[in-house]
Structure 1
């Protein structure tokens, strides 16, 4: 809002026009300057010359058999595609957004990293996912999860701007306590985020209580050790007073035995946290396989008996490739994608537009 007000002032327009435009965008879901009826034609011309509204095009929509999960494949103006997921719960609708096209973190359990990272998404492109997803389901989005394709803290500035926009009163007014950001553990950025004085929930993709196992499945472990991540988490908790969530994807024979559970208990002892156990997603490019139901339950029981708050993530949308990166990868392998490349889509690198988004 403030950026747009300043632009109005610099371009000899009344600052209150910014509020009118923002209202069209977020309250009335009108994403065409020509349809903003209380905006003069001269100002409309200026807006079209200097800005564009980045609402992604819907390529495909999938609905789970249980009708509680929707997966959207979106295409941006440069031809790049990303995924967004909406999950319906009793407490409201949650949207899982992507923050990058692809990902460079290389985690073995994640399909979005298979082909590497193409580019960052702008704050507007991330917010556009929420707006379009809300329009598609026809219901208010009340919770946001930054857990789709990409590492949010690897796109720090755009993600921070998105967090402030999506939670603002003039926008979607989604409370920061209803926003979760998931990171594989970029230590300096965790501490920087703590200093922003936000009230979001931080989720750490831990997946191992020690560096030896973690390095086998998460390349980031070669740069930041588990003790360094835990130290950064303590800093975050002390600065924000917010409980941290640790994500732990259970892979058969890798990190799902009771010794791992005992080590995890010792690692997290005394920390204000919650552990979210996740049956690992099977990605055909690697050997990781989902733990047995009995192993998952034993792991849960061990943590619970020792005083850790723990849940087992409910699997949603498995019948529509709702796990991160799977749908995009399938699309990239399709004939439709290859035809788009032949028609001139720039799907490798996007030169950033000189216009302000």
Structure 2
């Protein structure tokens, strides 16, 4: 960061308005500036031609205008296909790096791309130390700003506009590196940026999912925020002691408290919660585990997303076997739950959270 100049993209809309008010500018100038930053996405203040030359000069004297950039990309071996998962190392405003993943969805009949989901990082590293996560090995460096989160999506959406093999970006998940609810204010502002009506990139908040390992105060705050985005909760075990061993955050926010928070969210927001449950061989994947999960989820509006464990992260664990997986699914379906199964994507490109950035940030 250049000495004595601040990053203009760290300012919230209200702060931009106050900044320009102090310069004697009318309120609508803040809206113009915001549009230049996040819709037109210009690279210099000089390009903001609806602002006066005097104001542009003043902004340039006191503020910088950095942008995120793509430093490298890892793709699956079939990277030329529309359905290939692509993982990008994104350089942030201060030079640090995080990962962003583009996951295309293809038509099973034609093989052509239909839409894409961008998986967004919210922190450089993570402080939660989950035993199955590569990001935990990085430790925690800092939170990302709302602009840095939104720019991850902009970058990948722009690539799709240039490459016919990349379907349009229609969905966003805050499920990359870091814990979104430990950086909730910036995540909520990023959600608003990505859903700004009339901006160059704009999607419905209902197509945005915020994921958490179970930070209960954040779940309640999100429920009351007025945002219409979706919530996903990574559960992975329904026994308190075992969950805390896998996810130390469960000691601070135990299962009973988490369940109450999910009840509150479901009732307040009126949308289903996605329960994310990673199947790990011999740890949480037998029929009794499925029955406990079914009992735990009773009473609030939810659907269950089972995911394969990506064994490339940590050889301490193994992926569940197909027979056990199918019995687990049958038990949940018989209990009346909507169940989806997501196969591990991108193991061949180190696409588990944190692996690409872990190597990069060591340098």
TM-score, length basis structure 1: 0.87
Match of residue 144 from structure 2:
121
1:16 aligned residue = 28
Q: State the match for 2:354 in structure 1.
A: 325
**RMSD of the TM alignment (CA)?**
2.0
Distance of 2:204 and 2:240 partners within structure 1: 35
The match for 1:101 is: 124
2:241 pairs with 201, 212, 228, which one? Answer: 212
Check whether the contact 1:247–1:276 (CA below 8 A) recurs between aligned residues.
yes
**Aligned with residue 187 of structure 2, among 134, 159, 168:** 159
Range with greater deviation from structure 2 (48-57 or 144-153): 48-57
How many Å separate the matches in 2 of 1:140 and 1:10? Answer: 40
Q: Paired residue for 1:307, among 329, 333, 336? A: 336
Provide, for residues 112-162 of structure 1, a one-character-per-residue CA deviation record: whole Å limited to 9, x for no partner: 111211111111211121122222232653211000000011112211222
What is the aligned residue count? 334
Q: 2:91 aligns with which of 75, 85, 99?
A: 75
1:182 is the counterpart of 2:211? yes
2-structure distance, mates of 1:188, 1:240: 15
Partner SS, residue 135 of structure 2: helix
What is aligned with 2:7? none
Instruction: Quote how far apart the aligned CAs of 1:232 are.
Output: 0.5
Q: Is the 8 A contact 2:231 2:273 kept in 1?
A: yes
Structure 1 residues without counterparts, runs of 5 or longer: 338-357
User: Contact 2:310–2:347 (CA<8 Å) still a contact in 1?
Assistant: no
User: CA separation in 1, counterparts of 2:189 and 2:40?
Assistant: 22
Instruction: Give the equivalent residue in structure 1 for 2:45.
Output: 33
Partner of 2:104: 88
Secondary structure at the counterpart of residue 159 of structure 1 = helix
Give secondary structure in 1 for the equivalent of 2:291.
helix
Tell me the TM-score normalised to structure 2 length.
Answer: 0.86
CA distance in 2, matches of 1:137, 1:2: 32
Higher relative contact order by CA 8 Å / sep ≥ 6: 1 or 2?
Answer: 1
What stretches of structure 2 of length at least 5 have no aligned partner? Answer: 1-12, 107-113, 162-166
Which 10-residue stretch deviates more, 236-245 or 212-221? Answer: 212-221
Task: Return structure 1 stretches of 4+ with deviation > 4 angstroms.
Answer: 283-286
Verify the 8 A CA contact 1:24 1:31 in the aligned structure 2: no
